[in-house]
Structure 1
Amino acid sequence: MTEEPESVMIPARKGRAVRLTTGEAIEIINTHGKQVVDTWVFSAEDPMEFLSNEHMRATLGKLWPAEGDALITNRRRSIMVLEKDTSPGKHDTLIAACDDYRYGLLGCTEYHDNCTDNLYVAMRRIGIKLSECPSPLNLWMNIPVADDGTTSWGEPLSKPGDSVILRAQMDCIVAMSACPQDILPINGAACQPTEAHYRILPPAR
C-alpha cells in the first residue's frame, strides 16, 4: 500500500521553497479556499532561468495557464506543466508580487509582511540568494480585465481544498508565498490571510 505524501504548511503571510527533481510534482492546496499563493519556479541548475509570465503569455497566447499547459521560462523552455487544477482555473499573471513599497502606497506606515520578502527569505533558507523578484504566477488570484483594458481586484473563485498539480520538466525550485494582503479583497472579502499547504508527489508511473 502506497503512503499518502506528507502535507506541509505554508504559514499565513509567510513563504516556503522546495527542490524538485525532473518528473516529480508539487500539489499546492488552497486549504481554506480564498488564499492566494504567489508561486515562482527557478531552474535548479541556474536560478537566473525562471518561470516568466511575459514569456509564458506569448507562448500560450492567453493570460493564464490551464490544465495541460506548460509553464515557460525566460529562456523559453518548459520548466513545469500544470497537470491538474480542481479550481475554476482563474489565476493571475499580470500583477507583480507585493513589497513594502506597495504597502506604503496603500497607507501602511510600518513594515508589512509581503510576498517579495517572503520569496527572498524562503530561498535563503535553502541556500540561494536572489537579487531580483520575478513576477509570480499568482495562484487563485482573480484580476478581472474589462474590454477597455482596466483591471479590478476580485475575490478568489476557489473553494476549500482546491489544488493545482505542477509537474517538473527539469530539476527546479518552487517557491510559494501565502499572500499577506489584508487591505484589498485579494484573499476574500474578509481580508484575512490564511495558511495553505503543499505536497511533493513522486514521478508519474
Structure 2
Amino acid sequence: MDTIVEPTEADRAAMEAHRARYEALKAAGTGAAPLALPPPTGLAEAPLDPARIVARETVPGGWYSTLRLARGEALRLIDTAGSGAAALFAWNAADPSERLNHADTVKVQWTTRLAKGRVLLSDMGRVLLSIVEDTTDGAHDPLVGVSNAAGTLAKYGPGTFRNGRDNLVQGALKLGLSRRDLAPVVTFFAPVIVASDGRFAWGEAARQAGAFVELRAEMDLLLVVSAAPHPLDPRPDYAPGPIELVRLRTAPVAADDPCRTATPEARRAFENTDFWLAG
C-alpha cells in the first residue's frame, strides 16, 4: 500500500508562490492579446481566388492525406458538411526532428483557443504555421488528441472503421518518417470546451457546414491530416464528414501582419524563426 505524504506548510507556501507567479505571468500574457487579435472570418469572406490555388483534394471522412507545403504557401482546411474533424501534424521539411509542439503552442500563447491571429509552434520555439483565416473563432482542439483502435472499437463496435492514430502513423510512413516522429496533434473543427472544473465538453453548436481555417506556412513543411472522428464527438454512428484541403499561393507578409505582431510571445517566436531562416 502506498503511503500518502501530506505537503508541509513550507510546501504549501511554495506552491502558493508558484501559483501567484503563474497567474501574474498569465495576466500579463493575455491582457493585451484579445485587443490585438483580428476578428473571426465570416463564411462569405475570403473567397477562394482560382489564381491562388496550387492543388486541392477532398479527404473522405475517416481517411487521411499527406502533403508538402512550401514557406509562404497556405493550406485551407474546409469542413464541407459541418461534421468533419481535421487532426493535423507538421514537421520542418529541412529537419523533421523539429515538429509541432501542441503544449508550447498553448502555454506560450496562454490560451487553448487557437483562433485567427494565433500561431502553431515547434518544439524549437519557432513558428510552423500561422492561422490567417478562421470562421469558427477558435472552435478547435489542441488538448484531447485523436482516436485510436481500441477507443474506436469500444465506441462503434466491430467494423472497418479507421482511427486517427493509425492514420497519422501511416501518413508519417509515407513521408519517410515513423511513429516515433509523432506527437500530440491539433484538431481543427473539433469544438472542445474546457469547463471551469477542468472537464472537457463538446460544443456541437459551433460546427457549421463550409467552415474553414487557413494556415500559412512559415517554413517548408511536411504535413499529415486525418479526417477520422474526434474522440469526444458524441455522434453514436461512425459517419465523419469529409475535409477539403486547398493548397494556396499567398501574398508577401507585411511587417504589421497580425500573426506576427498580436502578442509579445508571437513576436519572439517569429524572431527565432527569422534567425533560423537567415542562417
Question: Fold-level match, TM-score > 0.5?
Answer: yes
Name which of 189, 193, 200 aligns with 2:247: 200
Partner of 2:91, secondary structure, is strand
Contact 1:56 1:71 in 2 (8 A): yes
CA distance in 1, matches of 2:181, 2:99: 11
CA distance in 2, matches of 1:19, 1:177: 15
| Equivalent residue runs for 1:57-96 within 5 Å | 57-96=106-145
1:121 Cα offset (Å): 1.7
1:12 Cα offset (Å): 1.3
Identity of aligned residues (%): 25
Are residue 54 (structure 1) and residue 54 (structure 2) matched?
A: no
Partner of 1:3, secondary structure, is helix
Larger radius of gyration between Structure 1 and Structure 2? 2
**Between 110-119 and 57-66, the greater mean CA deviation after superposition:** 110-119
1:135 Cα offset (Å): 1.0
CA distance in 1, matches of 2:131, 2:86: 15
Partner of 2:180, secondary structure, is coil
Question: Higher strand fraction: Structure 1 or Structure 2?
Answer: 1
CA 1:39–1:164 in structure 2 vs 1: closer, same or farther (change >3 Å)?
same
Output one character per residue of 1:116-143: Cα deviation in whole Å (capped at 9) or x when no partner: 1111222333433332531111101122
Counterpart of 2:226 in structure 1 is 177
CA 1:112–1:190 in structure 2 vs 1: closer, same or farther (change >3 Å)?
closer
Contact 2:84 2:229 in 1 (8 A): no
Matched AA of 2:173: R
Contact 1:35 1:156 in 2 (8 A): no
1:150 Cα offset (Å): 1.4
CA 1:103–1:132 in structure 2 vs 1: closer, same or farther (change >3 Å)?
farther
Matched AA of 1:167: R
TM-score, normalisation: structure 2: 0.66
- Structure 1 portions without partners, runs of 5+: none
Number of aligned pairs? 203
Output one character per residue of 1:147-173: Cα deviation in whole Å (capped at 9) or x when no partner: 111112342613111111100111101
1:177 Cα offset (Å): 0.7
Contact 1:116 1:133 in 2 (8 A): no
CA distance in 2, matches of 1:90, 1:35: 13
| Equivalent residue runs for 1:153-164 within 5 Å | 153-155=202-204, 157-164=206-213
Partner of 1:144, secondary structure, is strand
TM-score, normalisation: structure 1: 0.87
1:73 Cα offset (Å): 0.8
Counterpart of 2:6 in structure 1 is none
Counterpart of 2:199 in structure 1 is 150
CA 1:108–1:145 in structure 2 vs 1: closer, same or farther (change >3 Å)?
same
1:111 Cα offset (Å): 6.3
1:56 Cα offset (Å): 0.7
CA distance in 1, matches of 2:185, 2:197: 24
- Higher relative contact order, structure no. (Cα contacts within 8 Å, ≥ 6 residues apart): 1
Contact 1:25 1:167 in 2 (8 A): yes
Partner of 1:23, secondary structure, is coil
1:50 Cα offset (Å): 1.3
